[in-house]
Structure 1
Amino acid sequence: MVEVVNSSDQSSLPSKRSTSFLTDKYELTMLEAALADGSAQRNCTFEVFSRRLPNERRYGVVAGTARVIRAIQDYVFTEEQLATLDFLSESTIDYLRNFRFSGQVDGYREGELYFPYSPILTVRGTFAECVILETVILSIMNADSAVASAAARMVTAADGRPIIEMGSRRTHEYAAVTAARAAYLAGFAATSNMEASYRYGIPASGTSAHAWTLLHINEDGTPNEAAAFRSQIESLGLDTTLLVDTYDITQGVETAIEVAGPELGGVRIDSGDLGALTRRVRKQLDGLGAYNTKIVVSSDLDEFAIAGLRGDPVDVYGVGTSVVTGSGAPTASMVYKLVEVDEKPVAKRSRGKAMQGGAKKALRTHRTSGTAIEEIVYPFKGERPDCGKLNYTELSIPLMRDGEVIEGLPSLDESRDYLAAQLVTLPWEGLALSRDEPALNTRFLGFPAE
């Protein structure tokens, strides 16, 4: 029913690229000052976390981890870039010329769930090498986690029916590629974006737009929908999906089956009251003997619209704008904060932005049924808390050591499967779409009392 392009796991990213200018100027000016006063080499720990979940959602999804690791590897300065940094001293430029991250990175694996104050990513090294990574890390994780968190809610609402990501035209051309990756991580079945398919090996899907039907007219200018359908079937086969709402939907369905026969793969509806239309179209298809012809729907769907169609005869959803923009939450609101200097905890105390100092790890406890209970955050170098008879999962894993990527990190498909398994562990109310408290509490143990 859906045409899929199976791509090998290749990448169109250049083999040699620089991510160093995906940054903010103040990171370089801080570096300049730190090199001047001798603080650049102080051992520091920075942490990525979120103080709250956007729009009072119940959980967030960690996404972009693999892209962050690649960005850190590619964080080098070219001579062309260095030549533009006329606000820096020669000694700082020499430091950047030879820069390679040599520190340690630990964090939640991609596809893990997170909650307020979960220590999602921990970066350790000198102040100089850690501070300049802030913007690129947050750019990736905020965007990807926002999309994945929204997409996971849509997958839950779809209740097992596949969703195709088709939002490329509703966002920046390169954001479309990484949004497709994040949506696939969250459980979407395919993407319309060819670059995402090529770069990440995501199944690609697509048939035709309304322009295809409109193209086919008779000599007198009247529509010839049958000609459009016939040509598409001759090119793509009976398993294709015909777009039947260019003119009159009832007539479009009748024409589709008249041309293709009852073995047509699917019909797509991209407008109107989708609930009422799908029921009517399903009845019409069955009446024409096309019992196995699937119904694909699109048209500004989000998790709430998908949930509203759960009782209707929809076989496949196509989602665009809402998923690539985070469905009302375009950022995950993650921050990158200094939490430890020379093994001494430091913490911001600003009103509304208070945080817990010190490097951290986390684990999640579970009942014997597998249902998650809470997250426990404890000192990075401290002993693991006693969980009693509860089962637990260590959430923080090594990602980089001495600037080198840990071997055997999960693939995109492995992370996708992992997320699907984690969603099942949430208490049933944690999967609700309504606004409420986070599904799990985050509890700190082993830190000095305030």
Structure 2
Amino acid sequence: MNTADLGLPVDVPSTALFTDQYEFTMLQAALKSGTAERRSVFEVFTRRLPNGRRYGVVAGTGRVLDAVENFRFDEDVLGFLRERRIVDEGTLEWLADYRFSGDIWGYPEGEVYFPGSPIMRVEGTFAECVLLETVILSILNHDSAIAAAASRMASAAGDRPIIEMGARRTHELAAVAASRAAYLGGFTSTSDLAAGFRYGIPTVGTSAHAFTLLHDRERDAFQAQVNSMGRGTTLLVDTYDVAEAVRTAVEVAGPELGAVRIDSGDLLLVAHRVRQQLDELGATDTRIIVTSDLDEYAIASLAAAPVDAYGVGTQLVTGSGHPTSSMVYKLVARADSTEPGAPLVPVAKKSTGGKTSIGGRKWAARRLDEYGVAEAEVVGTGPVPPELAERQLLIELVKGGEVQAREPLDVVRDRHAAARANLPLSATQLSRGEPVIPTEYVNRRSGSPTGA
């Protein structure tokens, strides 16, 4: 596995240190107590969606699979752990041979999720599973937050293309992951070339205000860009006077001008004025692209404006106010001994303060109403009811340490569009509200719904 595929600098040999220290100290203690080899089941879920969100989006699964494959302890990593005295020599010897050999099940990437959904299930020995907690959560929490914001923005944009352009507003490696998550969520292209190179996402971009300011006249800047990129280019028209810039742009490029971009001002008012001016100048096919700190609410407010595409940066890469999905990675079952075939015992945190969890290895299914629209997320720990057998959500991602379900990004993108379309219409409302469908828990013994 090439570390470049993970968005890592070439001098980072593995993902093994994308980990909190206590994963290693737990490992050492478990090795000493003889419990490290107990078969264990960990689940990733969130207790609640971000305030006001109607659904979540599973994103980052493909990156998780890459990270698990690349979770290796080479000499440099082992040397660091030894030098810092983080673990003892016996633990270092165990780590030197580490390869995840367990199973991972999860919601298909691009699927939607709700509070309590077992988004990912990691099974194996306690020792091999506990080490993956931080890297799995860091990927899923970030990517799912970005994808959820992107999905809301894409829904607000309707059929109009939406461009991801937030690389300069976040960490350089997070920018690549954000572009991937945004494309999954419905964005059509990115300005980030690293994302285009790594994931095949379409890339776009022409010029910034600096290019206009470089030239003695705005006309000279437009002429230089058209000479270089052709008449179908996009000219930025709000460096000085918008009306004058539009007039100059059409004079330079002719009615074949591809698009103009507006990056400031009252976008609703300016877009109407620019559309009227372009039409009067004969540039009826010239598109209007708007940028400038857009979010889903701003995009929705421009629904009636003559806008052809949107560009979104800061609000997208920060999750539009919710930069994390608040997912957790919890032990829900473990064997009662290290003996092969030892039965699993459900375990769960029972403390107060809203952080309780439900023990047991879970399945999940989505129940549909008579019209084929989702009406409930059903999560259970016992046998799957026959009527839900064909609606189960978890698929096998890793079996015996081998990846089973790596997918092209376009497949994931299409899956999300289909999953969102299968939700009640209120899922696309931007007003604050509860999750669009409830989560129901099926009791292991009775098989009866207990409510969310």
Tell me the TM-score normalised to structure 1 length.
0.93
The list of structure 1 runs, each at least 4 consecutive aligned residues, that deviate by more than 3 angstroms after superposition, is 9-17
2:348 aligns with 347
* Alignment partners' CA distance in 1, 2:380 and 2:435: 20
| CA 383–40 in structure 1, closer or farther in 2 if over 3 Å, else same | same
2:362 aligns with 360
The 5 Å alignment of 1:38-437 reads 38-85=34-81, 86-217=85-216, 224-342=217-335, 343-351=344-352, 352-379=354-381, 382-387=382-387, 393-406=391-404, 408-437=405-434
Q: Which residue type is aligned with residue 239 of structure 1?
A: G
* Alignment partners' CA distance in 2, 1:228 and 1:370: 55
**8 Å CA contact 2:6, 2:63 repeated in 1:** no
> CA shift at 1:15, angstroms?
11
| CA 368–133 in structure 1, closer or farther in 2 if over 3 Å, else same | same
> CA shift at 1:11, angstroms?
7.9
* Alignment partners' CA distance in 2, 1:322 and 1:16: 29
**Of residues 4, 16, 20 in structure 2, which corresponds to 1:20?**
16
Paired residues in the alignment total: 431
Q: Percent identity?
A: 56
Structure 2, unaligned runs of 5 or more: 336-343
> CA shift at 1:394, angstroms?
1.7
Greater Cα shift, 75-84 or 191-200 = 75-84
1:36 aligns with 32
Q: Which residue type is aligned with residue 441 of structure 1?
A: P
The answer to whether structure 1 residue 444 and structure 2 residue 444 are counterparts is no
> CA shift at 1:446, angstroms?
3.5
Q: Which residue type is aligned with residue 350 of structure 1?
A: S
Q: For each residue in 1:378-434, what CA deviation from the matched residue of structure 2 results, as whole angstroms up to 9, or x when unmatched?
A: 22xx4321338xx9522100000010001x543210010010011111111121111
Q: For each residue in 1:275-297, what CA deviation from the matched residue of structure 2 results, as whole angstroms up to 9, or x when unmatched?
A: 00000000000010110000000
| CA 123–242 in structure 1, closer or farther in 2 if over 3 Å, else same | same
* Alignment partners' CA distance in 1, 2:172 and 2:378: 39
Greater Cα shift, 139-148 or 408-417 = 408-417
* Alignment partners' CA distance in 1, 2:395 and 2:221: 53
**Which SS does the other structure have where 1:84 is aligned?**
helix
Q: For each residue in 1:25-84, what CA deviation from the matched residue of structure 2 results, as whole angstroms up to 9, or x when unmatched?
A: 000000000000001001100000000001220000000001001101110111111112
> CA shift at 1:348, angstroms?
0.8
**Which SS does the other structure have where 2:261 is aligned?**
strand
* Alignment partners' CA distance in 2, 1:392 and 1:212: 57
Q: Which residue type is aligned with residue 383 of structure 2?
A: E
* Alignment partners' CA distance in 2, 1:298 and 1:263: 22
**8 Å CA contact 1:10, 1:198 repeated in 2:** no
* Alignment partners' CA distance in 2, 1:226 and 1:395: 57
Q: Which residue type is aligned with residue 371 of structure 1?
A: V
* Alignment partners' CA distance in 2, 1:304 and 1:146: 17
**8 Å CA contact 1:11, 1:200 repeated in 2:** no
**Which SS does the other structure have where 1:83 is aligned?**
helix
* Alignment partners' CA distance in 2, 1:138 and 1:355: 17
* Alignment partners' CA distance in 2, 1:378 and 1:409: 26
| CA 215–16 in structure 1, closer or farther in 2 if over 3 Å, else same | closer
Greater Cα shift, 437-446 or 245-254 = 437-446
* Alignment partners' CA distance in 2, 1:84 and 1:147: 33
Greater Cα shift, 367-376 or 281-290 = 367-376
* Alignment partners' CA distance in 2, 1:369 and 1:441: 17
> CA shift at 1:435, angstroms?
1.2
Q: For each residue in 1:172-213, what CA deviation from the matched residue of structure 2 results, as whole angstroms up to 9, or x when unmatched?
A: 010000000000001101000000000000000000000000
2:339 aligns with none
Q: Which residue type is aligned with residue 329 of structure 1?
A: H
**Which SS does the other structure have where 1:204 is aligned?**
coil
**Which SS does the other structure have where 2:283 is aligned?**
coil
* Alignment partners' CA distance in 2, 1:283 and 1:10: 46
1:5 aligns with none
* Alignment partners' CA distance in 2, 1:87 and 1:333: 28
| CA 43–336 in structure 1, closer or farther in 2 if over 3 Å, else same | same
